Structures are given as C-alpha cells and as structure tokens.
Amino acid sequence: MTVEGVMVSYNYSDDAEHANILTVSASGIKFSKRWVLTHGSILSPLKQANVIKNARGKPILNDEFYDNLPEIYVTCEKVKSKTPNMYENLEILSRERSLNNDADLEHSSYQVRVLTGRICHVWQCPVLDRCVDNILYSWTIGHRDGDVEKQTQLGKALLSVFVLVDLETDNRDFKILRPLSELLDMCQPPPDRGATVDIHSTPFGCEVFLNAVTRGSVCGVVGKRPSLLLTDAATALGSEGGPVFTAGPDNHLVGAVVCSVSWWRGEWVGLTLAAPLKSVLAAKLRVQQPLPARTPPSPLYVRILELVDRSTVLVRCGAAWGAGLYLGGGHVLTCAHVVKHHASHKVSVYCDNVKETAAVRYKTKDDLAYDLALLYVSPAHWRHLLPAVFAEESAQKGESVLAAGFPYFNETNLEELKPTVTSGHVNNVSPSLIQTTCCVQSGFSGGPIFRITKELKVEVLGTIVSNAKTETGASYPYINMAVPTKAFIRLVQHFILERDENVLSQIENKKDMIQSQWRLLPYRSKI
C-alpha cells in the first residue's frame, strides 16, 4: 500500500510563558514517503485559524502565515527493514535482554516512529464548502460545550480545509501541486450507498489507538460528483484526516474523515462525515473530473436496497417529519408523534418523485405505547411501491439488522429522495420492544427495522419509535427502540381487510408493565 494512516500532532501554548503546553492532534494520510495530508480542524486552537476563516476560500500564500505555524510531528507504525542492519539488531538485542516477562515487545503495536515536518500548504475545498453552506448550515460541529456558536462557526469554516505537511524540507517554493497530483492518481471514486468502508484513524491523539480500524456502511452520498459521504463507521474526536478505504483485499483509498462528532436539531448525528478525495483534489488541481465510473455494486446489495427503497416513504406533518412503511392498498404505517398535529397541519407522503396528501385513519393517544399511526393515500399514485413483507419469526438477540429513515432530505429535489440505511444488531428484545444498535436520528421515526433472511428475503421486524434521550436533551442514536411487528400487524391487516376501525384501538396497549417499559421506568414498585 502506498498510503498509510498516521497521527499528526504539534505542541501548543496560548500564553507567552509557555507554562501550559498542550498537544493538539488529528489523523492523517502519509503518501509517497514524504507527504502527509490532514484535516484543517487540527489548526483550530491557532490564531491562523481565524485567518483561514476570514479568507473565505481565497488561497493563503503569504510566508508570514506559514512561518508562524508550529513544527509538526507525524507518528506512524514502524516498518521492519527487509535487511536489518547492525544498528537495528543492537537495538532489538538491548530490548530483549531487559525483558523480565513473556511480552512480545517486537509486536508492531509497540513499535512506532515519529517524523517531523512543516505545514507547506493550506487550502479550502470549494466543493465541500458549498456542501457546508447548502446542507450543513444548521448543524453544530464538535462537542456542544463552551461557546457553541463560536465553536460551530470555526468548525464549519475549517470543515472544508485541508493541510499538506512536508516531511523533508522547510522550502515552500517546492511545487505543492505535484504531490497532490500524485495523491489524486492513488485515489479511487467513492463507493455507492450500501458499500462497506474501513476508516483508519487515531482517536483522542493516543498512540495506543494508532491506526485503529473501524468498519461501516456508506449510508448516504451527497452530490453527483459527489461532495460528501455519510457512513456509520464509528469514529471519535481526533479521527479527522484519517483515510477512508474500500473494505476488502485491495483497500482502495476513497476519502478522508472531515467530521467525527456533529449535532443537528439538538441531537447527536452519530454518523461520520467524509470527503471524497477524488473530488477534493480534482477541485484543487482544477482537473475536470468526469462523473465517476464506479465499480458496479453487488447485484445482491442493489436488489436489497431497491426493496427497502420501494417500501419506505417519507411522512411530513407541518415542521415534523419521519418515515413510513407502505403496507399496500394506499396504507402507510408511521409513528403517532410524526403526525401529532394532523388536525392543524396537512400530512404529506413522499416517495420516488411523488408527493401526495394523506388522511390519518388511526393514531395512538399521545405519549402512550405503541406510538403508531395508520395513514391512507390514493393507491393510484403508488403503484411503483411494494407492500412490505413482515417477518413470521420474532427478532433474536444478536442478529444483524438494517434501519431505514429520512434524517436529511431536500424537498426541492424529490427525484433523488431515498432513505438513509444504517446497519446494526438487535441487542435486546421482548414481545413489546426491540432495541438495536443501528444509528437512528430524527427522521427515522416510523421507519422499518429490516431482517435479511438466509433466503435473501427482506422482512420487517419492527417499526422504529425513538432513540434514547436524557432530560438535558442529549440524544444517543445507537440506543434506540422499535415496536415488534407481532405486537400490531394482525390488527392492522384485519382493519385493511374488514375496515373495522374498532380493531385499531386495540393497538393501544394499556398494560402498566408495557407503558413502564416504553417510558424506560422500572417494572416493579420500590415500595
């Protein structure tokens, strides 16, 4: 592999006495032996960060800016020489003779090397900057502590910034476009939605986590070029700048992490944002990139996503929105809280460039289990949809599942409206509640939890209702709850066939234990 993940750091002090020296770190991509590409978030504590913010995308070329930047340390895995020399052998022998246990200190996890370099170029990617302005304008970047507004403004200004480090010379006269052109040749177009990717990063600037690998799915692709990738591969602060590879034996470089922690509408998003390097570097080099001729995705994955897309719809009521599951015959199942204000606001259903007004046939009373609603739209407009197939077998603890919903959408571009799909597993199950580790945010409410059977059928196990939220408003997207299909589907199917609305009222489960479970309260009295 000609590229590798590294940790990039420098020492920083915000007082003239240098009494309190901090280490600032991020992840990075080392390539062609000499160069390291990292993300602009590493500059956030420096005064130069405000220069970048005020530059508004203009190139920063003055020498004074670069002369005042700190020396950079690049920590990478130590590679054993193919032909060890005498000095290396003496180093190994010295370590071995001091051992008093069986620990293998020659293991690669104990062997790191630290290189020094200087920042030679900083630039803002216009493709990513437009994405920040048009899509991420209402997001909070980073942890929500301190001055959130100031932090978010700086975070967004640096989100589209990239930093090039030279490990060999301080001479900035070197043509920096040459190494970027080399890196462009090493990159591949990003994979499609549903593909698996690996992220190599060093969270928290800790050498113990050097080049930790996390794996996840591409949940969303923004733009045709594209300009942003969303993946449920887990990362943490300090992962910014880390390389994103396609999963598999070849590990093609496709992107770099630009944001590990973000919030939207007061909720932690729980997805990693990555920039497709092919688009970033092509924009920098002003190379006209054709629309990527991507490797055809697996026909199996395409078929599964098509089944998900053709049964999952977007439901909107006033300012609230969520997902819905198409049952056939114009009936859509969603959450009651999504259409809570249906008496005063129109309910609309969207899918595949079609938008129709829906009538609410049934809605659970507010704040009662199971928080479900049944909608009706004219079936003539929804012949392109497929009725969902419901699982006969109950969910099993530990089994892998998918979740589908609409956390982000553009109402003016319904042609490309597709649900975001995240993966996880069932970590708890009862006859009245399924808990999963799928990444679930606002916009997933009413969406389905899918199982892929051994026969490769796509079945619905449950309907997503909520994720966990504290009294302070902090939201945990990887802890979420769904109503098992078996708790309601017979009653809904009976109504569709017989039109007996009295049947639907039985969905409202009034048992104290069930209500306590859904309020996350103890089952038994403390008296």
Cα 65 from Cα 49, distance rounded (Å): 10
Three-state DSSP state, 462: strand
Instruction: For residue 36, give both structure tokens.
Output: 């390291």
- Looking at residue 526, its pLDDT comes to 41
Task: Give the strand order in the sheet containing 139-141.
Answer: 139-141, 262-264, 267-268
- Looking at residue 413, its pLDDT comes to 67
Contact predicate 382/519, CB 8 Å: no
Cα 508 from Cα 370, distance rounded (Å): 6
6: region left, alpha or beta (phi > 0 left; psi from -120 to 50 alpha): beta
What CA–CA distances, in Å, run from 349 to 138, 315, 382?
24, 5, 10
Burial (0-12, 13-18, 19+ Cβ within 10 Å), 402: buried
- Looking at residue 484, its pLDDT comes to 95
Cα 175 from Cα 183, distance rounded (Å): 14
Task: Kindly provide the b/e burial profile for residues 340-372, where b requires at least 16 CB atoms within 10 angstroms of the residue's own CB.
Answer: bebeeeebbbbbeeeebebebbbbbeeebbbbb
Alpha helices in 349-508 (DSSP H): 489-498, 501-504
Going by their DSSP bridges, the two strands 312-317 and 262-264 should be labelled as unpaired
Both ends of the chain: CA-CA distance in Å? 64
- Structural domains of the chain, with CATH: 4-80+106-285 (2.40.10.120), 298-526 (2.40.10.120)
> Would you tell me the crossing angle of helices 148-159 and 48-55 to the nearest 10 degrees?
70
Cα 382 from Cα 378, distance rounded (Å): 8
Instruction: For residue 10, give both structure tokens.
Output: 């420098």
- Looking at residue 359, its pLDDT comes to 95
Going by their DSSP bridges, the two strands 262-264 and 267-268 should be labelled as antiparallel
Contact predicate 405/443, CB 8 Å: yes
> Would you tell me the crossing angle of helices 126-134 and 148-159 to the nearest 10 degrees?
140
- Looking at residue 527, its pLDDT comes to 39
Tell me, letter by letter, the H, E, C secondary structure of 186-231: HECCCCCCCCEEEEEECHHHCHHHCCEEEEEEEEEEECCCCCEEEE
- Looking at residue 221, its pLDDT comes to 87
Please name the residue that has the structure tokens 């690998």: 213
Please name the residue that has the structure tokens 């497709």: 276
- Looking at residue 525, its pLDDT comes to 42
Closest C-alpha to 478, from 488, 468, 489, 491: 468
What CA–CA distances, in Å, run from 451 to 341, 455, 458?
32, 11, 6
Closest C-alpha to 448, from 458, 477, 457: 458
Going by their DSSP bridges, the two strands 347-351 and 312-317 should be labelled as antiparallel
- Looking at residue 47, its pLDDT comes to 84
- Looking at residue 381, its pLDDT comes to 86
Instruction: For residue 300, give both structure tokens.
Output: 């199996």
Q: What is the pLDDT along the chain (527 residues), one digit of tens a residue?
A: 589 999 999 998 776 555 567 889 999 999 999 999 999 999 988 888 888 877 776 777 788 889 889 999 999 987 766 666 676 677 667 666 665 555 555 555 567 889 999 999 999 999 898 888 887 877 888 765 555 566 667 788 899 999 999 998 766 656 788 999 999 999 999 888 888 999 999 999 988 899 999 999 998 888 777 889 999 898 999 999 999 999 888 889 999 999 998 887 777 788 899 999 999 999 999 887 666 565 667 788 889 999 999 999 999 999 889 999 999 999 999 999 999 999 999 999 998 888 899 999 999 988 788 899 999 999 998 888 999 999 999 999 999 999 999 987 766 666 678 899 999 999 999 999 999 999 888 889 999 999 999 888 999 999 999 887 666 555 678 888 999 999 999 999 999 888 887 888 888 877 888 888 877 766 544 43
